[in-house]
Amino acid sequence: MQIIIVAFASLFLVRLFYLQVIDQKYDTLAKNNAIKELDVYPTRGLVYDRKGELIVYNEPIYDLMVIPRQAKNVDTLRLCELLGMTKEDFLNRFEEMKQQRGYSSYKPNAFAKQLSLKDYSRLQEYLYLFPGFYGQVRTIRKYPHRVAATILGDIGEVDDKAIDKSDGYYKPGDYIGKSGIEKVYEKQLGGTRGKKYVYVDVHNREMGSFGNGEFDTLAKAGDNVITTLDIKLQEYGEKLMQNKKGSIVAIEPNTGEILAMVSSPGYDPNLLCGASRGENFMKLLKDTLLPLYSRPTLATYPPGSAFKPVVGLIALTERVQPVDYFVTCTGVYLFAGLTLHCSHRHPSPPNIQYALEQSCNSYFWQTFRNIIENKNYSDIHDVYDKWSRYCNSFGLGVKTGIDLPSESTGNIPSSKYFDRLYGKTGWHSSTIISLGIGQGEILVTPLQMANIFACIANKGYWITPHVVKRITDPVTEQDVTPSHDKHVSLMDTQFFAPVIEGLHMVVEEGTARSAKVDGISLCGKTGTAQNPHGDNHSMFAGFAPMENPKIAVAVIVENGGYGAAYAAPIASLMVEKYLNDTIQQKRLPLEKRMMEGNLLSKYGVSINKTVDLNADVDE
């Protein structure tokens, strides 16, 4: 018997020696069982405007959680009443929870999501009647100014693609910037997640900290972002553009900072936060006016007459004509069998200044011919490519590099494009003559348009436009100021002065007299982009003050008719608002007219539609 005892005891000890001393995998298995890594979510950074006004913040909302196993003797009637649900809803909710993946009656389940602080505080008083229920605070983004939706962007649950790309950082259910600044500055705004190690028991309940929190790391709050936006100006712009499709882009010329960027129709960014995000998103997505579309950076238009200063500058720089170049304008321009019409009757321009003032088509057709028919170049491809490069140096046909997620390059057609279209020798200055007045294949975005005038205001350079000025660490208060490239145009700087003089005359005496503001030397150019689908697009781009430009602005009102009809007055109001902060008494009727101008009928939309969209905003 002793032998049996010793034999079995030895067998046990050998087995134990193997389990405990030799095989090391059990330690890991036990850790996997018992220690769970939890993410500690940082608060997302705040967003300010250029003057320090808070424009995006986090608001606490509450998820009502329930641990079903603990939910006994619940005052169901009272709870239903407080949540505004019926007894059936209540029971259904529990059934729904049970269907969810990973459901455990020991674990917290979200019973009601995203209750407002108001609703929750009412509920909180009675929470003692509902054992097993408790509130869990989360935050959602809140936009006190309700504007600049496409710039600020939104956050939403991360999709599979982003999860794959993040190398394991994002997990399903995490929030991530989906558009606008939220997307581009996700890394800074998002902060750094912390880790918490806790013990979990067999029911996956948290049972206290592992190693007294020794291995835990704190979450680092997201950086605050100070934008270049002037939120007052942005609000004003959106008001001016209401009931009109189009864009306003305002840039501070010497810094490239975007002061305001209106995409109309816009939407209240608060719509894409909180419980009704999905529903509202679908509503906005289906809207025929495309409120989710960021027009300032994505919509492209032929620049029309607003392009004329560029044509003039190229001709002057190429020395194909002097500043005092004279062109006879009889109202028609006859060329290579074409009969082209000038927009209105005016005296023949003796120089570029007057040509700009009157927006004389004949003058710029001739100028364009002078550029393209330049005998210093071997053939049209050479000269046309040079022309393209001039345009590119203004940020046309290329991306400006703005710090927003999507941007169109616009279009400066290449010589190859015309080769394909007409054959290598099949095109001449007459074939592409409409480029001379900003029509034809040329397309620019409102942002590029504003950028051209920022470049002119700077007399030959532009800074990459941007919407973020500074990024601040909320803890150390250290600032990071992103640097931006300076792009020097290929123009001979001596010719900016006469062109600017001409642009000033446009507002003082020319086509944009409706934009004249006493005391402000506004320079600019109207444009009327031909629109095959309906009324012409009204355009204006300019800058002010002439001597020391503080703001460059481009306005496009789709189907707004002549540039002077809508775009020029709106631009002048933006400039006046920005520079003077108030609108002169005598211009108030103009302001009123602009704000009340309603073009929705031209887009085939009833007026009620947009009103409805802005109606359900909660405080």
Partner 1 sequence: MAKHESITGKIDWFTVLLYALLVSIGWMAIYSAVYTDEQPSLFNTSLNSGKQFQWMIASAIIAFVILIIDSRFYITFSYPIYALLLLFVLSVMFIGTEVKGQQNWIRLGSFSMQPSELAKFAVALAISKYLSGLNVDIRKWRDKWKAFAIIGIPMIIVTVQGDAGSAVMFLAFSLVLFRDGLEPYFLIVGSSVIALSVLSLIIPKLTLVALLFGVAAVVIYFSRRNRKISLAIAGIWIVASLYVFSVDFAFNKILKSHQRDRINVLLGKEVERGKDWNIRQSIIAIGSGGVTGKGYLQGTQTKLKFVPEQSTDFIFSSIGEEFGFIGSLVIIGLFVSLFFRLLYLSERQRSKFSRMYGYCVTSILFFHFLVNVGMAIGIAPVIGIPLPFISYGGSSLLSFTVLLFIFIRLDTQRYETMR
Binding footprint of partner 1 on the chain (CB under 8 A): 1-2, 4-6, 8-9, 11-13, 15-17, 19-21, 23, 25-27, 29-31, 33-35, 199-203, 207-208
Opening angle at CA 603, ends 601 and 608, nearest 5:
55
Conformation bin of residue 529: beta by default, left when phi > 0, alpha when psi is -120 to 50: beta
Query: In 325-414, which residue ranges form alpha helices assigned H by DSSP?
Result: 352-358, 361-372, 380-393
Phi-psi region of 352 (alpha: psi -120 to 50; beta: other; left: phi over 0): alpha
- At closest approach, how far in Å is the CB of 201 from partner 1? 4
3-state secondary structure of 459: coil
- Rounded-to-integer distance, Cα 415 and Cα 201, Å: 71
CB of 14 to partner 1, least distance (A): 10
Q: Could you tell me the smallest distance in angstroms from the CB atom of residue 67 to partner 1?
A: 17
Those residues with Cβ within 8 angstroms of residue 156's Cβ, 6 or more apart along the chain or in another chain: 175, 176, 178, 272, 277
C-alpha distances (whole Å) from 146 to each of 89, 235, 257, 269, 363 are 34, 8, 21, 6, 45
Residues 400, 40: Cα–Cα separation, whole Å: 38
- Please, which residue, 6 or 607, has the CB nearer to partner 1? 6
Q: How far apart are CA 207 and CA 134, in angstroms?
A: 18
Q: How far apart are CA 385 and CA 251, in angstroms?
A: 29
- Which helix (DSSP H) or strand (DSSP E) does residue 417 occupy? helix 415-422
Q: Considering beta carbons, is residue 26 or 422 the nearer one to partner 1? A: 26
> Minimal distance in Å, beta carbon 88 to partner 1?
34
Burial class of residue 531, CB neighbours in 10 A (0-12, 13-18, 19+):
middle
Considering the complex, state which of residue 10 and residue 481 has its C-beta at the smaller distance from partner 1: 10
Other CB atoms closer than 10 Å to residue 295's CB: what's the count? 28
Please give the sequence-ordered ranges of beta strands (E in DSSP) within 415-466, or none if there are none: 461-463
CB nearer to partner 1: give 29 or 615.
29
Q: Specify the 3-state DSSP secondary structure of 102.
A: coil
Distance CA 617, CA 619 (A): 7
Instruction: Report, in Å, the least distance between residue 103 CB and partner 1.
Output: 17
Q: Which is nearer to partner 1, 5 or 615 (CB)?
A: 5
Closer residue to partner 1, CB minimum distance, 54 or 198? 198
Q: Is the Cβ of residue 8 or residue 422 nearer to partner 1 in the bound state? A: 8
Tell me whether residue 209 or residue 521 sits nearer to partner 1 (CB atom): 209
Minimum distance between the CB of residue 212 and partner 1, rounded to whole angstroms? Answer: 12
Give the shortest CB-114-to-partner 1 separation in angstroms: 33
Query: Residue 307, exposed/middle/buried by CB under 10 A (0-12, 13-18, 19+)?
Result: buried
**Beta carbons within 10 angstroms of residue 195's beta carbon:** 13
Q: How far is the CB of 197 from partner 1 (least distance, A)?
A: 12
CB of 200 to partner 1, least distance (A): 7
The span from the CA of 247 to the CA of 290, in Å, is 13
C-beta of 21 vs 475, nearer to partner 1: 21
Q: Nearest CA to 191 among 58, 319, 285, 76?
A: 58
Of 19 and 336, which CB lies nearer to partner 1 in the complex structure? 19
15 vs 420, which CB is nearer to partner 1? 15
> Between residues 204 and 376, which has the closer beta carbon with respect to partner 1?
204
Longest dimension (CA), the chain: 129
Write down the least CB distance from residue 3 to partner 1, Å.
11
Least CB distance to partner 1 at residue 16 (A): 5
503: nearest Cα among 512, 495, 494: 512
Smallest distance from the beta carbon of 36 to partner 1, in angstroms? 10
